[in-house]
Amino acid sequence: MIGKEINAEVIGVYPNKVKISVDNLNDFKAGESLKVGSYIRIPSDDGETILISVIESFSIEVSTEGKRKHLIDANPLGIIKDGKFIRGGDSIALPPKEAEPASTREINDIYQSSVELTKRLEFSSLSTNSAIRIPLDGNKFFNKHIAVVGSTGSGKSHTVTKIIQTAVNGRGGDYSLNNSHVVIFDIHSEYRSAFSDANFIDVSNLVLPYWLLTSEELEELFLDSDSNDHNQKFIFRESVVENRKLNAKCSDVDKVKIHFDSPIFFDLNNVLNSAKSKNEEVIDTGEVYASGAKQGLAKTVQGSLYGKLTNFVNRLEHKINDSRLDFLLGERSKKISFEDTIRNLLSYQEDKKSNVTIIDLSGVPFEVLSITVSLISRLMFEYGYYYKKIRCDSNPNEKINNDTPVLLVYEEAHKYVPNSDLVKYRASKRSIERIAKEGSKHGVTLLLASQRPSEISETIFSQCNNFVAMRLTNPSDQAYVKRLLPDSLGSLIDTMPSLRAGEALLIGESIVLPSIVQIDPCDENSQPSSSDIPYWELWKKEWKTFDIDKIKSEWFK
Ligand SMILES: Nc1ncnc2c1ncn2[C@@H]1O[C@H](COP(=O)(O)OP(=O)(O)O)[C@@H](O)[C@H]1O
Ligand SMILES: [Mg+2]
C-alpha cells in the first residue's frame, strides 16, 4: 500500500536543529498561524514519542524545474512521551518522517502541566498565541537571582512592576498582607504610582545610621582620598574607635575588642572636635618668657599635628553641616536604633506593615549614592544571614533557612554594580556582589533591571538564573547577554532586537521552555510613572507661568 503523501518531511536532524521541507505551505499550516517562534511536532516512526521544536527560520528553495519548496529550520526543545513533556531533544527515534504544526492544545498542555498549581506564578502569555498562559515555578523564580534587561522603552519598569504586583497579590489564604517582602531601589521615582500600599521612603524620611558604615565607606566619605594623608587617616580611625568605646555598653574587657568596624554608635561631632583640638594643639613647655613683650607668659610649642589637619577638619565640618546628607549624618541618624532601621527598611513598623518598601533615591546626592545603596543592601543581607543563623542554631533540622525571604530590586543596576573599578562605585558593588554570591541561601534574592547589561559586573550577572530579556538594540549589550545565556537557545536569542514593548524572552529554571512572551500590561491605575513628557501636547498649550520663588526655596533648602 502506498502511504499517504507526505507534505512536510524531515530532511535533517542535528543536535540543535531539525530541517523540514514543506511542499504546500497552506496545507501544512492547516489553520494554525505560523511564525518564527511557533511550534512544530514531529512524531517518531513508532508513534511513541513526539519531538517538539520551535521554528527558527523559513526559507524558500526553487528547484531547476521551477518548483518551490519551503524549508523550515526548527530548534528541538523536548519530547512528549506518555503524555508528559521532557525537556531536551536527544532521544528521538530515527528516522522521523512527518512534521506538522503543534496544536494550541498540545502546547498549552506542555506549559500547564509543567508547574503545580500551588507553585504557579503567572504574568505573561505566549507571544505567538495569547491564548496560552505561561506559568512559572514561583519558588524557582524567586529563590535565584533575576535579571531584566532591555533598551529604554522596551518595558522593563512595567515588567518589574507586574512581577512584583503578582508576587504581592498572591495569597494562599484569607488575609490582607501576605508574607512577601520586596525592597525597591527606585532611582527615578517611578514606582510610587504603581504601589499605593507600599512603605514609601525618600530623603525626607529616610534615616540611616552612618555609624553602621564599614571602615572603607567611612573613609571614602570623610577623608580626602586623593591626598593620601596619613595624619588624617590615623586621627580619624583613632577617634572613631575611641568614641565607639566610650559609647559601648559593655565591660572594659570587651571594650578592648572594639575596633574601627565595630557596629557601635560614635558621635561625629566628637570626632570633629578631637581633630580640631589636635589641629590647634599647643603644648605648654612649663617655662615662661623671661623678657620681651611676652615676659611672664607661659612658653608653648605647637603640637605635632598643629595645622596639619585643616583640610580634614574642613571636610568633616562641611559634611556634617551639609543638609543634603541629613538622612545619613543628621540628628535622627544618631538617635535611630538598629532595630528601627531594620524595621523601616523591611516595613515592619508598629503602625505600618507593608509588602513593598520603595526607597526613592532620587534625592540622594550622587557622591553618597553608592555608600547609601551599599549600607541598605548590606543590612538586608546581614538580616538574612543572622536570621538564618538563629533558625538553624535553634533547630538543627531546620530546612527553610529564612521564612520571611526578601527580594531586593535594583532599577538601573549598572549604576550600582558596574563593570568598572572606580572608587565611587566600590561600596555598592562590594555589597551587592556579596548578595549575588551568597544571598540566595540566606533568603535574599536580587532582581536587577538594566538597559546596559554589558556595563553590569559580570560576577553579578553570571549569578542570575532567571532572565527576562526584552528588546535590546545595542550590539555590545546583545553580544554580552548572548554570551551569558545557554547555547541551546539557538536563534531564539536573535529575536532580541525586534521584540515589541512588553515582549520578552523568558529563560531559566523556573520555566519549562525558553519562551517569547507578552508580559501582562499593568493595570491603568497602578503603573510605574513614565518619564515620557508629552512635549508636543504641552507646547501647544497656552503660555504657562511657574513659581520661581518656590523653586528657589526648594533649591536653596
Ligand atoms: N507589558 C506591556 N504591555 C503593553 N505595553 C507595554 C508593556 N510594558 C511596557 N509597555 C509600554 O512600553 C512603554 C515603556 O515601558 P517602560 O516599562 O517604561 O520601559 P523601560 O523601563 O524599559 O524604559 C510604556 O509606556 C508602556 O506603554
Ligand atoms: Mg524604566
Q: Which ligand is nearest to the CA of 152?
A: 1
Query: What's the Rg (C-alpha) of the chain?
Result: 31
For the Cβ of 154 lying below 6 angstroms from any atom of ligand 1, the answer is: yes
User: Is the CB–ligand 1 distance for residue 123 below 6 Å?
Assistant: no
CA of 322 to the centre of ligand 1 (A): 38
Give the H/E segment covering residue 417.
Answer: none
> DSSP 3-state helix, strand, coil percentages of the chain (rounded to 5)?
40, 25, 40
Note the ligand closest to the C-alpha atom of 161. Answer: 1
Q: What is the pLDDT along the chain (557 residues), one digit of tens a residue?
A: 344 566 888 888 887 788 998 888 877 777 777 888 888 999 887 778 888 988 888 899 888 888 888 899 998 888 888 888 888 755 665 666 788 899 889 999 999 999 999 999 999 999 988 999 999 999 999 999 999 999 999 999 999 999 999 999 888 777 778 899 999 999 999 999 999 999 999 999 999 999 999 999 999 899 877 666 788 889 999 999 999 999 988 888 888 889 999 999 999 999 999 999 999 988 888 888 888 888 888 888 888 888 888 989 999 999 999 999 999 999 999 999 999 999 999 999 888 899 999 999 999 999 999 999 999 999 999 888 888 888 888 888 888 888 889 999 999 998 888 888 887 888 888 899 999 999 888 899 999 999 999 999 888 888 999 999 999 999 999 888 888 877 666 677 788 888 999 999 999 999 998 889 999 999 989 999 976 788 999 999 999 999 999 999 988 87
Give yes or no for residue 501 CB within 6 A of ligand 1: yes
Q: How far is the CA of 52 from the centre of ligand 1 (A)?
A: 32
Domain residue spans of the chain: 8-112, 123-170+177-199+356-363+408-420+437-555, 215-319
Identify the CA nearest to 73 among candidates 7, 5, 13, 6. Answer: 13
The reply to whether 123-170+177-199+356-363+408-420+437-555 shares the fold of 8-112 is no
In sign, the C-alpha dihedral spanning 73, 75, 81, 84 is negative
Could you tell me if the CB of 502 is within 6 A of ligand 1? yes
**Distance (Å) from CA 139 to ligand 2 centroid:** 26
CB of 85 closer than 8 Å to CB of 78: yes
The Å distance, Cα 502 to ligand 2 centre, comes to 12
Write down the architecture of domain 8-112 according to CATH.
Answer: Beta Barrel (2.40)
Distance from the alpha carbon of residue 260 to the mean position of ligand 1, in angstroms: 47
d(CA 360, CA 374) in angstroms, rounded, equals: 15
Output DSSP code: residue 353: B
In three state form, how does the secondary structure of 310-337 look? HHHHHHHHHHHHCHHHHHHHCHHHHHCC
Which of 488, 381, 477 lies closest to 145 in space, CA to CA?
A: 381
Going 318 to 321 to 324 to 326, the CA torsion angle's sign is positive
Q: How far is the CA of 25 from the centre of ligand 2 (A)?
A: 41
**DSSP-assigned letter for residue 243:** H
- Among 67, 62, 141, 72, residue whose Cα is nearest residue 101: 72
Q: Outline where 402-457 has alpha helix (H).
A: 423-438
What is the reported pTM? 0.89
Q: Is the peptide bond before 95 cis (omega within 30 degrees of 0)?
A: yes
CA distance 228 to 139: 49
Atom of ligand 1 nearest to the CA of 520: 1
* The CATH fold of domain 123-170+177-199+356-363+408-420+437-555: Rossmann fold (3.40.50)
* Backbone angles phi and psi of 76, in degrees to 5: -65, 135
DSSP string of 124-162, one letter each residue: EEETTEEEEEEEEEHHHHHSSEEEEE--TTSSHHHHHHH
Q: Cα(292)–Cα(425) distance, rounded to whole angstroms?
A: 58
* 486 Cβ inside 6 Å of ligand 1: no
Spell 124-135 as b/e; 16+ CB within 10 A means b: bbbbbbeebbbb
125 CB less than 6 Å from ligand 1?
Answer: no
Q: Ligand 1 within 6 A of 529 CB?
A: no
Which of 124, 149, 157, 158 is the best mutation target for the ligand 1 pocket, counting ligand atoms within 8 Å of the beta carbon and taking the most?
Answer: 158
Q: Are 259 and 242 in contact (CB under 8 A)?
A: no
Exposed/middle/buried for residue 543 (C-beta within 10 Å: 0-12, 13-18, 19+) = exposed
- CA–centroid distance, residue 483 to ligand 1 (Å): 26
Which residues are CB-contacts of 538 (< 8 A; sequence separation ≥ 6)?
none
Q: Which ligand is nearest to the CA of 160?
A: 1
* Burial label, 336 (beta-carbon count in 10 A; 0-12, 13-18, 19+): middle
Ligand nearest to the CA of 503: 1
What is the Cα–Cα distance from 484 to 492, expressed in whole angstroms?
14
